[in-house]
Amino acid sequence: MSRYRDVILFFLLAGLWGGSFVAIEVGLEYYPPVLYAAYRFDLAALLLVTYVLLTESGPLPRTRGDLAAIGFSGGLSVAVNNSLLFVGQQYTTSGIAAITYSLVPIATAAVAAVWIGESSLDARGALGVVLAFVGVALVAQPDPENLAGGVTIGVGLILVGVIAVAVGSVGLRVVETSFSSIALTGWAMLFGGLLMHGASLGVGETQQLPATELPALVSLAFLGVLASAVAYTIYFTLLDRLGPFEINLVSYVVPVVATVTGVLLLNEPVTAFTVAGFVVIVAGFVLVKRHAIAEEVPKLLERVGGGF
């Protein structure tokens, strides 16, 4: 029964994160992008920090490692990443943004190989990284005569955000923390949200209270409550139960959800280049993670065959 629950949670997580790209597109009609991202994490941090303060015995950061972890996660994975994602999505569809974002596991493996000397990235793995970036290029469809405009600039911004997530994720591996993953996430969201408010002021965005139009309210509530606070709670639950390999597979379900939802709700176009780019990125992931796939897939099939 627990395995059925894990499968349901896995696809629920994919649905929430896939839907988040569509919610961003909707909300960008009502908010400046960086301010919108800040409001998302204000709401999420309010919920998660309140939760950990009420339920955990040691929820406050107490060590330098705790503060460093909040800096890596809140500064890079939350603030830099989401500022660039929300700005970038002004130029892309939900599906293109999600497909570009699916590069996170591959970029993380590359950063880990360079930074901490993780030995899993050999020559074939390096080829997989290159292949994945080729896939992103296919998705972006760069116009040599207009490299600073359109989808190309949007994908480029999101790609820089992906690299920020990768650096932040690897940074967490080199510090020791004294509190739970949920507590770290809550404090990181709070710190990242504050940084994004500062960035929003710094770039001259018009400051406004949350919009009262129904689409704006629904999109912000979905992002802050469901796609952030609830989704990250599900993520860490599944990470503990399934392990990093299986949970990373959600990165390749999310773009499908985002693309289909974008087509159905926003009438977004899907091109052959977009589909081809996604396939190439997945092929790159297979090369990078081929050893883990060879080890984990038989275990996964055995569990599936056993009725979970």
Tell how far CA 285 is from the center of its chain: 16
pLDDT of residue 151: 84
Are 283 and 131 within 8 A, CB to CB? yes
Contacts of 263 (CB under 8 A, 6+ apart): 95, 269, 270
Kind plus residue range of the DSSP H or E element containing 119: none
End-to-end CA distance of the chain: 7
Tell how far CA 14 is from the center of its chain: 11
In the chain, domain spans: 2-305
Kind plus residue range of the DSSP H or E element containing 243: none
Gap between the Cα atoms of 77 and 243, Å rounded? 20
Contacts of 207 (CB under 8 A, 6+ apart): 35, 200, 201
**pTM for the whole structure:** 0.89
pLDDT of residue 148: 60
Q: Which two tokens stand for residue 175?
A: 């510090």
Kind plus residue range of the DSSP H or E element containing 143: none
Contacts of 16 (CB under 8 A, 6+ apart): 226, 227, 230, 231, 234
- pLDDT means over runs of 10, the chain (308 residues): 76 95 97 97 97 89 93 95 97 93 89 79 82 85 63 92 94 89 94 97 92 94 96 87 77 91 92 89 85 69 55
Contacts of 292 (CB under 8 A, 6+ apart): 120, 245
Are 254 and 102 within 8 A, CB to CB? yes
Q: Is 117 left (phi over 0), alpha (psi -120 to 50) or beta?
A: left
- The Cα-based distances of 179 to 7, 55, 172 in angstroms read 28, 12, 13
pLDDT of residue 59: 86
Q: Which two tokens stand for residue 248?
A: 């990373």
Among all chains, which residue has been given the structure tokens 């004294």? 178
